[in-house]
Structure 1
Amino acid sequence: MSEPTPTPSPLAPTIGFEGFAALDIRVGTIIKAEAFPQARKPAFKLLIDFGPAIGTRRSSAQITEHYTIEDLVGRQVAAVVNFKPRQIGPFISEVLTLGFPDAAGKVVLIGPTQPVPNGGRLF
Structure 2
Amino acid sequence: MKDIIFQMAEKTDDGIMYVTADGRIAYWNNGCERIFGFTAAEAAGANLDLIIPEKHRNRHWEGFNKVLETGRTAYSGRMLKVPAIRKDGAKLIIEFSMQLIEQDGKNAGFTAIIRDVTLR
How does the TM-score come out when normalised to structure 2?
0.28
Which has the greater radius of gyration?
Answer: 1
More helix by share: 2
How does the TM-score come out when normalised to structure 1?
0.27
